[in-house]
Amino acid sequence: MAKKSEITSENIATFAGGCFWCLKTDFEKLPGVIKVVSGYVGGKSENPTYETYAQMGYIEAVQVYYDPKKITYEQLLNYFWCHIDPTDGGGQFADRGPEYRSAIFYQDDTQMQIAEKSKQALEKSDKLSKPIATDLIKLTKFYPAEEYHQNFDDQNPEIYNSYRLFSGRDQTLNKLWGDTNGLHPICPIKSNKPKQAAATLKKKLLPMQYEVTQQSSTEEPFNNEYWDNEKDGIYVDIVSGEALFSSLDKYDSGTGWPSFTKPLEPGNIVEEEDRSLFISRTEVRSKKKNSHLGHVFPDGPAPTGLRYCMNSAAMRFVSKKDLKKEGYGKYLKLFSPKK
């Protein structure tokens, strides 16, 4: 059963902004943040659980433990604003209801004054087209959530990544604050990791490669590099280099995109539901870097009956003669004559 946490340190900030899995992973990226705890706050009864907290009037929230020598409470507030939709009073993103509403829970007058000043600055900045709906509430009790919620993204990466994608969280943040992973210049402190990673990828990849892998775009059929490639070799993720498909499983599907009956390394791909076109499809993404690769359909030939319809821009072809030189020597045996 969850226990009440002791509010003894002045170096704790408490925020509610929808799903606590997502808010936790966002704050963990910041330099100066020591740890982030998911939990329940704002209710009236004792000992809420995941099954009861909403009915008891609690909100999903996080407590951010931080080093004030490296990051300030004001900077945490600015970062918080840029990772929620402050104008949404009915919840956050796909999660609806009062248990998902946004709020800042201050623990003393100092935090209250800083939070009020931060909110007023955002209201006067004209960054938002609607009034701010985020509440400022005096913190009373914070109950840590069950243990399996604390590191959910690490313990269940496929479920977490799928949830985050389909919640519309990042898509909404990009529309609200700009195409910067929810980070806006109003945030004086930013997580450098996503920004640096995006900048590095943009330099490394061609524009179409970036649009496909990072923004889930689709290249033109019959006008891409590998749709009619008939050479022997393997196809690897353009970002991570992990092996994805073999030419031995490639076939002409007539669609104008490179198609395969099965992956070369099933463990290197992740399949997720995709409803972006208002129909249910199965998206295929790379395991290590979460790159968008394409989709898989149940209309392929024997023996699998599947059609892995990929984007050329998401892959790099390594010919049979270059496999050993490029570190994929173990796949040479696939192309050896059978005895």
Concerning whether 309 is annotated as a catalytic residue, the answer is: yes
Q: Which of the following is catalytic: 19, 22, 82, 187?
A: 19
CA nearest 23: which of 14, 32, 11, 31?
14
CA 314 to chain centre: 19
Which tokens in the block code for residue 3?
Answer: 């226990």
Q: Please state the φ and ψ torsions of residue 237, each to the nearest 5 degrees.
A: -65, 125
Which tokens in the block code for residue 72?
Answer: 């300030």
DSSP 107: S
Q: Please state the φ and ψ torsions of residue 316, each to the nearest 5 degrees.
A: -125, 135
Is residue 194 within 8 Å of residue 183, measured between CB atoms? yes
Q: How far is residue 132 from each of residues 67, 79, 289, measured CA to CA in Å?
A: 28, 16, 35
Cis peptide before 303 (omega within 30 of 0): yes
| Residue carrying the six token digits 């031995």 | 248
Under 8 Å CB-to-CB from 10, ≥6 apart: which residues? 68, 107, 108, 110
Q: Which of the following is catalytic: 22, 82, 187, 309?
A: 309
- The CA distance from 15 to 80, in Å, is 8
Catalytic positions: 19, 309
